[in-house]
Amino acid sequence: MGRRKNLMESKGQEVLIRALKANGTDQRVLNAMKKVPRHLFLPEDMQSFAYADTPLPIGYDQTISAPHMVAIMCDLLKITEGMTILEIGSGSGYNAAVMAELAGENGKVYTVERIPELVDLARNNLERAGYSNVTVVHDDGSCGLPEHAPYDRIAVTSVAPEVPPPLREQLSKNGIMVIPVGTQYQTLVVVKKDSKGNITHKAMGEVIFVPLIGKYGF
Ligand code: SAH
């Protein structure tokens, strides 16, 4: 385990959680975010900003999403205990950790990352923070991760030109996927598959993410 939060960080997290609560974040998501030490997922020179509501650089031109964006995505996903979850874009591993908290001991998170150094970073961070129910896979996540499909929930943390067909296929019946989509403007889209396999899309609003690079990406 890494070092515990110092007093400043504890205070900062308290303020952050209060702000997310005021935004209407679900209590289960707040509890999960309270448990995950975001500073352990950041480079040392960024740790003092860990509980500010802002995206931060994690190297290789990539960013850890702002806490409110993690909260919004997790709210929309409605993750419950025991679910199998796929994330595309591990980055620091932070979002995967929050989802792992929500899925609980019997849940499982697979997270796919294309940059090898970030695969190592996410693995180390998750291990340091004590998450053993998350598996980090090095691959092009725009093709999903067919070997463990179907997934109850899919979270894509980079923007795609359109919803990659393999992700749609790998979503289970009654499943939910959250994915930023767009070229000039980016919209957060909730994709739902009903019990018969029919798909619906709902646009939730404008967002800013780094691009999904790969076969079904940019
Ligand atoms: N969820 C991360 C933030 C992700 S930033 C966190 O909590 O820190 C987006 C990530 O998506 C970057 O690390 C980027 O390298 C990755 N990415 C982009 N295209 C990808 C692809 N096709 N497959 C897997 N990862 C991809």
Which tokens hold the place of 56?
């931060």
Which tokens hold the place of 107?
């849940």
- Which residue, 59, 95, 61, 114, is CA-closest to 178? 95
Question: Where residue 10 falls among pLDDT bands split at 50, 70, 90?
Answer: confident
Which tokens hold the place of 206?
């404008």
3-state percent helix, strand, coil for the chain, nearest multiple of 5: 35, 25, 35
- How large is the average pLDDT for residues 109-135? 98
What's the pLDDT at 2?
63
What's the pLDDT at 5?
79
Q: Exposed, middle or buried by CB within 10 Å (0-12, 13-18, 19+), for 172?
A: middle
Which residues line the pocket of ligand 1, CB cutoff 6 A?
62-65, 88-89, 91-92, 94-95, 112-115, 118, 140-142, 157-158, 210, 212-214, 217
Known catalytic membership, residue 195: no
- The domain ranges of the chain are 7-206
Answer for the pair 133, 7: CB distance below 8 angstroms, yes or no: no
β-strand 151-156 against 84-88: which pairing, if any? parallel
Prediction pTM value: 0.97
pLDDT at 21 over 60: yes
Answer for the pair 172, 151: CB distance below 8 angstroms, yes or no: yes
How far the first Cα of the chain sits from its last, in Å, is 37
Q: Which of 77, 98, 158 to mutate to test the pocket of ligand 1 (most atoms within 8 A of CB)?
A: 158
| DSSP for residue 212 | P
At 183-207, the pLDDT tens digits run 999 999 999 999 999 999 999 999 9
Nearest CA to ligand 1 atom 16: 89
What's the pLDDT at 80?
98
At 50-97, the pLDDT tens digits run 999 999 999 999 999 999 999 999 999 999 999 999 999 999 999 999
CATH class of 7-206: alpha beta
Question: Where residue 3 falls among pLDDT bands split at 50, 70, 90?
Answer: confident
Quote the ligand 1 centre to 194 CA distance (angstroms). 27
Question: Where residue 6 falls among pLDDT bands split at 50, 70, 90?
Answer: confident
At 132-184, the pLDDT tens digits run 999 999 999 999 999 999 999 999 999 999 999 999 999 999 999 999 999 99
Q: Which of 114, 153, 170, 207 to mutate to test the pocket of ligand 1 (most atoms within 8 A of CB)?
A: 114
What's the pLDDT at 142?
98
What's the pLDDT at 4?
79
Instruction: Spot the catalytic one: 10, 48, 65, 92.
Output: 65
Nearest CA to ligand 1 atom 4: 91
Say which residue the tokens 């067919």 belong to.
146
What is the Cα–Cα distance from 55 to 70, expressed in whole angstroms? 10
At 97-114, the pLDDT tens digits run 999 999 999 999 999 999
Answer for the pair 209, 66: CB distance below 8 angstroms, yes or no: no
